[in-house]
Amino acid sequence: MSAKPISVATLAAMKARGERISCLTCYDASFARLLDTAGVEAMLVGDSLGMVLQGHATTVPVTIEQMAYHTACVARGRERALLIADLPFLASATPERALANAARLMQEGGAQVVKLEGGGHVVETIRCLTEQGVPVCGHLGLLPQSVNLIGGYRFQGRDADSAQTIKRDALAIQAAGASLLVLECVPAALAQEIGQTLAIPVIGIGAGAGCDGQVLVLYDILGLNPKRPPRFSRDFMQGRGSIMEAVADYVAAVRDGTFPGSAETTY
């Protein structure tokens, strides 16, 4: 593991070399130190904390104050991995609001990249953020903050029209200046096509092995999900002697392309 801090430029160079990027969610300093040591390239302070830490049914109740707090906790524990933080529900409803909340995540929390969900309607917000020097990660496919609108956690992009919309939005997000894109719960073939089309790294979650990298919820790979874990995840604690070993094996599986496998992929 190189001790050199990772930037968005580092991830872009990894994509250019065909090297896969490993990312996990992280919510505190102790796990941040562990993930750094295990070699992940990026940590995502996800609003998933509302579900795995706070016990909510969705990510919607999470506030910007909570996101800034947990981002600061992770920032105090990490030294190397790129630190990405979610803009929570309605925190990016307007470009002005997104700028103010991104400033909180970066100035109070130490985030290096902010992530926001959505397609065409957030393109102007992404452009506004990047013009002010804020690195942005887009998020397409299943949008957890919109779960009440779409009626559940459902795979997206299965039909030709919705797949075309996701591809069009991905290109628009890149053109607006985003440095990264997360694709969640879309068919593997669609994700691979988008990854091959875009110049920026595409990180998948439930989107097959054809992406430039993978991200999972840390608690899922440690078998700490009290409910049925997502089909696209894998319990890396099985057969391992420690959390460090489990995380290191996840990193290795992403890098060598053995995760996700066919059992974790929707075609």
Q: Is the dihedral of CA 124, 187, 203, 19 positive or negative?
A: negative
Topology at the third CATH level for domain 8-264? TIM Barrel (3.20.20)
Entry pTM: 0.97
- Write out the catalytic residue numbers: 184
Angstrom distance (rounded) from CA 75 to CA 61: 23
CA distances from 116 to 33, 47, 77, 146, 180 (A): 25, 11, 23, 12, 11
Q: What is the mean pLDDT of residues 196-203?
A: 98
DSSP assigned state of 85: E
- Give the pLDDT of residue 198: 98
pLDDT surpassing 90 at residue 50: yes
Give the model confidence (pLDDT) of 119-176 as tens digits.
999 999 999 999 999 999 999 999 999 999 988 889 999 999 999 999 999 999 999 9
Q: Where are the domains of the chain?
A: 8-264
In whole numbers, what is the pLDDT of the chain averaged over residues? 96
- Give the pLDDT of residue 227: 78
Give the model confidence (pLDDT) of 171-198 as tens digits.
999 999 999 999 999 999 999 999 999 9
Q: Which of 95, 98, 32, 96 is nearest to 64 (CA)?
A: 98
- Give the pLDDT of residue 229: 84
